[in-house]
Amino acid sequence: MINEIIVVEGKDDTVAIKRAVEAETIETGGSAVGEDVLRRVALARQRRGVIIFTDPDHAGERIRKIVAQRVPGCKHAFLPQEEALYKGDIGVENASPEAIRRALSSVRTEVPESESLSAPEISWDDLMQAGLVVHSEASDRRLRMGNLLGIGYANGKQFFKRCTMFRITKAEFAAALQRMERELEDE
């Protein structure tokens, strides 16, 4: 059983989570996250901890951002888009139980800026040198690196913020970059 309460978007996501693991969920009811939901998430965070597990699409990222801003210190689980896709629809509800378990086994804990005492290990220059920003294939490279690091897809600025927020180390970053480069060579 997963101790933390998992924040998902809707009922179908809850069903998919319960097929994969024994856990309790809080449903946001979509992208219009209400005050009552945010209060429940804050209480859950205090009492048991929270894992935000939203769809790997624009709406899911918007919900993730709203909840994380209002309830700092949450954990985050990310599904690669290709593991959440079914007939053109992207969502947690489409993922296999194995994909959900993998995502939940790679949970990242957010470190609020106010608690971060040290400078981030990953710099903007690191992103540039890795071709994750200011590069003709930066978007695809961020998608691959986000999946390898377990932080999901994001635009350049958000990717940098996630590297900082989840305290991605130079060693983690270098290992993921090396793996991505090997995968690209093999294609």
What does the pLDDT average to over 68-77? 92
C-beta separation of 24 from 6 below 8 A: yes
C-beta separation of 112 from 69 below 8 A: no
Phi, psi at residue 171, to the nearest 5°? -65, -45
Using DSSP bridges, classify how beta strands 5-8 and 50-52 pair: parallel, antiparallel or unpaired. Answer: parallel
C-beta separation of 70 from 37 below 8 A: no
- Tens of pLDDT, residues 130-185: 999 988 999 999 999 999 998 988 899 999 988 988 889 999 999 999 999 999 88
- Paired tokens of 54: 């939203």
Is pLDDT of 119 > 80?
no
> Cα(11)–Cα(26) distance, rounded to whole angstroms?
9
- Tens of pLDDT, residues 53-70: 999 998 999 999 999 999
Phi, psi at residue 133, to the nearest 5°? -140, 155
Is pLDDT of 30 > 90?
no
* Maximum Cα–Cα distance across the chain: 49
Phi-psi region of 135 (alpha: psi -120 to 50; beta: other; left: phi over 0): beta
- Paired tokens of 47: 């009492």
Name the band, by pLDDT with cuts 50, 70 and 90, for residue 84. Answer: very high
pLDDT over 70 percentage in the chain: 96
C-beta separation of 141 from 131 below 8 A: yes
- Tens of pLDDT, residues 42-51: 999 999 999 9
Over the Cα atoms of the chain, what is R_g? 16
Is pLDDT of 90 > 80?
yes
Q: pLDDT value at position 166?
A: 86
Domains within the chain, CATH numbers bracketed: 1-110 (3.40.1360.10), 114-182 (no CATH)
What does the pLDDT average to over 100-123? 79
| Contacts with 121 (C-beta within 8 Å, 6 or more apart), sequence order | 163, 167, 168, 169, 170, 173
Our CA angle for 149, 153, 158, nearest 5°, is 95
Using DSSP bridges, classify how beta strands 5-8 and 25-27 pair: parallel, antiparallel or unpaired. Answer: parallel
> Cα(122)–Cα(109) distance, rounded to whole angstroms?
17
Which comes out higher in pLDDT, residue 29 or 7? 7
